[in-house]
Structure 1
Amino acid sequence: MAVTCRTVEEALAPIKSGDRVWCHSMAATPYRLLEALAIHVLNLENVTLLQLHLEHAEAVCQPQLEGHLRNRCYFVSHSTRELVNTGKADYVPIFLSEIPKLLRSGRQPIDVALIQVSPPDRHGNCSLGVSVEATLAACNMAKTVIAQINPQMPRTHGDAAISLRSIDFVVEIDSEIPSFPPSRPKDEHLQIGGHVAELIRDGDCLQMGIGAIPDAVLAHLGSHRHLGIHTEMFSSGVLPLVASGVIDNSNKVIQPGKMVTSFILGSDALYDFIADNTEVLFLDVEYVNNPAVIRKNPQVVSINSAIQIDLSGQVCADSIGGKVYSGFGGQVDFVTGSQLSEGGRSIIAMPATALSGSQSRIVSHLADGAGVVTSRAQVDFIVTEYGVAHLHGRSLRERAERLIAIAHPDFRETLAKAANI
Structure 2
Amino acid sequence: MKTDIQYSTAEEALSVVQSGQRLFIHGSACTPLYLMRKLAEQADRLRDVELVFITVQGDIEVQKPQYQDSFHINCMFVSAPIREAVNSGRADFIPVFLSDIPDLFNKKILPVDVALVQVSPPDSHGYCSLGVSVDIARSAVNMAKKVVAQVNPNVPRTHGDGQIHVSRFTHMVYYEEALPEVDYGEKTGADELKIGEYIAEMIEDGSTLQMGIGTIPDAVLKALTNHKDLGVHTEMLSDGVIDLFESGVINNRKKRIHPNKGVTGFAVGTKRLYDYVHDNPAIAFLDIDYVNDPHVIRRNPKVIAINSAIEVDLTGQVCADSIGSIQFSGIGGQMDFMRGAALSEGGKPIIA
Pairwise CA RMSD: 1.2
Aligned with residue 94 of structure 1, among 93, 96, 118: 96
Aligned with residue 256 of structure 1, among 251, 256, 259: 259
**Rg larger for:** 1
Aligned with residue 214 of structure 2, among 202, 211, 216: 211
Give 1:144's aligned residue.
Answer: 146
Aligned with residue 227 of structure 1, among 213, 218, 230: 230
Structure 2: unaligned runs, 5 residues or longer = none
1:261-290 deviation digits (Å, cap 9, x = unpaired): 010011111111111011100000000000
Following the alignment from structure 1 to structure 2, what is the Cα–Cα distance between the partners of residues 222 and 77? 31
Following the alignment from structure 2 to structure 1, what is the Cα–Cα distance between the partners of residues 169 and 9? 16
Following the alignment from structure 2 to structure 1, what is the Cα–Cα distance between the partners of residues 334 and 4? 37
Give 1:337's aligned residue.
Answer: 340
Aligned with residue 202 of structure 2, among 190, 199, 208: 199
Paired AA for residue 83 in structure 2: R
Give 1:159's aligned residue.
Answer: 161
Identity %: 50
Give 1:54's aligned residue.
Answer: 56
1:378-407 deviation digits (Å, cap 9, x = unpaired): xxxxxxxxxxxxxxxxxxxxxxxxxxxxxx
The structural deviation recorded for 1:247 is 0.4
Following the alignment from structure 1 to structure 2, what is the Cα–Cα distance between the partners of residues 320 and 4? 48
Mean Cα deviation higher: 116-125 or 4-13: 4-13
The structural deviation recorded for 1:84 is 1.0
Following the alignment from structure 1 to structure 2, what is the Cα–Cα distance between the partners of residues 247 and 213? 19
Following the alignment from structure 2 to structure 1, what is the Cα–Cα distance between the partners of residues 71 and 218? 37
The structural deviation recorded for 1:56 is 1.3
1:248-327 matched pairs, under 5 angstroms: 248-327=251-330
Following the alignment from structure 2 to structure 1, what is the Cα–Cα distance between the partners of residues 71 and 45? 10
Aligned with residue 25 of structure 1, among 12, 15, 27: 27
Q: Secondary structure at the match of 2:57?
A: coil
Give 1:247's aligned residue.
Answer: 250
Following the alignment from structure 1 to structure 2, what is the Cα–Cα distance between the partners of residues 219 and 59? 36
The structural deviation recorded for 1:2 is 8.1
Following the alignment from structure 1 to structure 2, what is the Cα–Cα distance between the partners of residues 293 and 163? 28
Aligned with residue 107 of structure 2, among 82, 105, 108: 105
Question: Structure with the greater relative contact order (CA < 8 A, sep ≥ 6): 1 or 2?
Answer: 2
Q: Secondary structure at the match of 2:42?
A: helix
Q: Secondary structure at the match of 1:4?
A: coil
Whether the 8 Å contact between 1:2 and 1:166 is mirrored in structure 2 is no
Give 2:11's aligned residue.
Answer: 9
TM-score with structure 2 setting the length: 0.97
Paired AA for residue 122 in structure 2: P
Aligned with residue 236 of structure 1, among 235, 239, 244: 239
The structural deviation recorded for 1:62 is 1.0
1:311-366 deviation digits (Å, cap 9, x = unpaired): 111111111111100001100000000001000010001xxxxxxxxxxxxxxxxx
Whether the 8 Å contact between 2:30 and 2:133 is mirrored in structure 1 is yes
Whether the 8 Å contact between 2:5 and 2:166 is mirrored in structure 1 is no
Aligned with residue 73 of structure 2, among 56, 71, 74: 71
1:103-155 deviation digits (Å, cap 9, x = unpaired): 10101111000000111111100000111010110001100000011111110
Aligned residues: 349
Give 2:192's aligned residue.
Answer: 189
Give 1:363's aligned residue.
Answer: none
Change (3 A) 1:338 1:309: same
Following the alignment from structure 1 to structure 2, what is the Cα–Cα distance between the partners of residues 134 and 101? 9
Whether the 8 Å contact between 1:2 and 1:170 is mirrored in structure 2 is no
The structural deviation recorded for 1:166 is 1.0
1:11-34 deviation digits (Å, cap 9, x = unpaired): 111000001000000011001110
1:17-70 deviation digits (Å, cap 9, x = unpaired): 001000000011001110111111331110001011111143011111111100
Following the alignment from structure 2 to structure 1, what is the Cα–Cα distance between the partners of residues 59 and 297? 32
Whether the 8 Å contact between 2:8 and 2:171 is mirrored in structure 1 is no
Change (3 A) 1:60 1:3: farther
Q: Secondary structure at the match of 1:191?
A: helix
Paired AA for residue 265 in structure 1: V
Q: Secondary structure at the match of 2:148?
A: strand
Paired AA for residue 266 in structure 1: G
Structure 1: unaligned runs, 5 residues or longer = 350-421
The structural deviation recorded for 1:215 is 1.5
After TM superposition, which residue ranges in structure 1, 4 or more long, deviate above 6 angstroms?
A: none
Change (3 A) 1:10 1:289: same
Paired AA for residue 228 in structure 2: R
The structural deviation recorded for 1:6 is 3.7
State yes or no: 1:129 paired with 2:111. no
